Amino acid sequence: MRTHKIAAIPADGIGQEVISAGLEVLTALASKDGTFSFEVEHFDWGSERYKSTGTLMPTDGAEQLKQFDAIFFGAVGAPDVPDHITLWGLRLAICQPLDQYANVRPSRILPGITSPLRNATAENLDWVIVRENSEGEYAGNGGRAHQGLPLEVATETSIFTRSGVTRIMRFAFELARSRRRKHLTVVTKSNAQRHGMVLWDEIANEVAAEFSDVSWDKMLVDAMTVRMTLDPKSLDTIVATNLHADILSDLASALAGSIGIGPTANLNPERHFPSMFEPIHGSAFDITGKGIANPIGTFWTACMMLDHLGETRASEHLMQAIEKVTANEQFHTPDLGGTARTNDVTTALITEIRKT
Ligand code: IPM
Ligand code: MG
């Protein structure tokens, strides 16, 4: 029996509800499969801990996580704590020391889900965005001086390193190669940002030469929003900087039907450290505690975690069950225009898993 050690960090808002639904589903899958199991440790890190102790996680938090095979993360952010404190105190405080430099965000229109785009279908909107997750605009490089005075100044300088850009380009080309279309779009803004983004473009060109079987093109990030909206079928795998991909991945999940559905993997591809898996949606305090959060984003995230753990059969099984459930409008939560509750979707999914 294979055992996978999972660190569960539900953290804030609906993160609690969706991670507990996700763990129920993972347990059901494991007992159905019979060849693997999970050993789950729960961590109470997040904004509540910050309010009572002053930190979102212990100072050796990232160190503690190193002994796990994967991290299953809910969401971080609270209405009464500044967002830069919660982001830097937990999510980035895990991603950066564990060098989870490849953030992977697939978007696809699942059965039964309607895209706001008139002509979008599962066949012509099927993308994976690769987000550079360790540097760029999120490097944390900058400072403030003369606070409160008229000459107050603040800087926020992006960092692009040759090794950082090269590794994310290689990862993206490899991912593109593994997909049917074998096509990569490199998102840039080198017309206006004439240093870091020019290095980004040059390295894309160099790495492309190692992947002669993968076709690729380059898009300015502003024009990319137009192409995603008007010509979704021209895209497949997409690579972009930390901030550009942050924005484009929200657009992608909205175009795929709902931000409640999208999954994320924060990968350390070399597996020197555990990778972290989280739904894309965030803490959603407006619906917290109401029992109506869409757990599908977390279930799809669980598929990515299973793939990473080598449980490919269970991952496929779970994805098929997800598609059966989304196909039935009775199991659509309010973000999809339905009236189903988190529990209804979870129970339907577990029933589906036990059946097939
Ligand atoms: C994301 C989120 C975060 C980010 C927020 C919560 C700071 O939007 O994971 O895309 O910008 O990285
Ligand atoms: Mg975002």
* Residues in the chain, overall count: 356
Say how far apart CA 234 and CA 254 lie, in whole Å.
Answer: 18
Q: What percent of the chain has pLDDT over 90?
A: 98
Residue ending a domain, among 256, 278, 303, is 256
Residue ending a domain, among 229, 256, 283, is 256
Q: For helices 196-208 and 162-178, what crossing angle results, to 10°? A: 40
Q: What is the largest CA-CA distance in the chain?
A: 67
Per the structure block, which two tokens stand in for 33?
A: 């499969």
Same domain, 195 and 75: no
Per the structure block, which two tokens stand in for 195?
A: 């240093």
Task: Enumerate the H helices of the chain as residue ranges.
Answer: 15-33, 47-53, 61-65, 83-86, 92-95, 162-178, 196-208, 221-230, 242-255, 296-308, 312-326, 342-355
Give Cβ neighbours of residue 210 (< 8 Å, ≥ 6 apart): 170, 173
Q: What is the mean pLDDT of residues 19-42?
A: 97
Q: How far is the CA of 229 from the centre of ligand 2 (A)?
A: 18
- Give domain status of residue 106, yes or no: no
Say how far apart CA 294 and CA 258 lie, in whole Å.
Answer: 9
Read off the pLDDT band of 89 (50, 70, 90): very high
Say how far apart CA 301 and CA 20 lie, in whole Å.
Answer: 13
Residue 186 is part of a domain; what is its CATH number?
3.40.718.10
Q: How far is the CA of 266 from the centre of ligand 2 (A)?
A: 13
- Probe residue for ligand 1, chosen from 137, 138, 246, 266 as the CB with the greatest number of ligand atoms within 8 Å: 246
Say how far apart CA 203 and CA 218 lie, in whole Å.
Answer: 12
- Give domain status of residue 75, yes or no: yes
Taking the model in full, what pTM does it have? 0.96
Closest residue CA from atom 12 of ligand 1: 246
List, for residues 245-298, the tens digit of each pLDDT value.
Answer: 999 999 999 999 999 999 999 999 999 999 999 999 999 999 999 999 999 999
In angstroms, what is the C-alpha Rg of the chain?
A: 20
Total domain count, the chain: 2
Per the structure block, which two tokens stand in for 188?
A: 């840039």
Say how far apart CA 338 and CA 12 lie, in whole Å.
Answer: 24
- Which residues, in sequence order, are bridge partners of residue 264? 278
- Please give the pLDDT value at position 133: 97
Same domain, 276 and 241: no
Same domain, 51 and 178: no
Same domain, 78 and 120: no
Q: What is the mean pLDDT of residues 57-74?
A: 98
Same domain, 162 and 186: yes
- Please give the pLDDT value at position 356: 80
Q: How far is the CA of 30 from the centre of ligand 2 (A)?
A: 31
Closest residue CA from atom 10 of ligand 1: 246
- Give domain status of residue 66, yes or no: yes
Average pLDDT over the chain, rounded to an integer = 97
Residue 185's domain comprises 115-144+151-256
- Give domain status of residue 107, yes or no: no
- Give domain status of residue 262, yes or no: no
Is the predicted pLDDT of residue 125 greater than 90, yes or no?
yes
Same domain, 228 and 272: no
List, for residues 130-177, the tens digit of each pLDDT value.
Answer: 999 999 999 999 999 999 999 999 999 999 999 999 999 999 999 999
Read off the pLDDT band of 119 (50, 70, 90): confident
Read off the pLDDT band of 231 (50, 70, 90): very high
Q: Which residues line ligand 1 (CB under 6 A)?
A: 77, 87, 246, 282
Q: How far is the CA of 249 from the centre of ligand 2 (A)?
A: 7
- Give domain status of residue 109, yes or no: no
Which of these, 142, 140, 202, lies nearest to 166 by C-alpha position? 202
Same domain, 134 and 238: yes
- Give domain status of residue 261, yes or no: no
Same domain, 242 and 126: yes
- The number of beta carbons lying within 10 Å of the beta carbon of residue 101 is 23
- Give domain status of residue 127, yes or no: yes
Q: How far is the CA of 246 from the centre of ligand 1 (A)?
A: 7
Residue ending a domain, among 228, 256, 284, is 256
Ligand 1 atom with the smallest distance to the CA of 83 is: 7
Tell me how many degrees the CA angle 274-243-250 measures, rounded to the nearest 5. 85
Same domain, 70 and 155: no
Q: Which bin fits 187, alpha (ψ -120 to 50), beta or left (φ > 0)?
A: beta
Ligand 1 atom with the smallest distance to the CA of 131 is: 10
Phi, psi of 14 (to 5 degrees): -70, -5
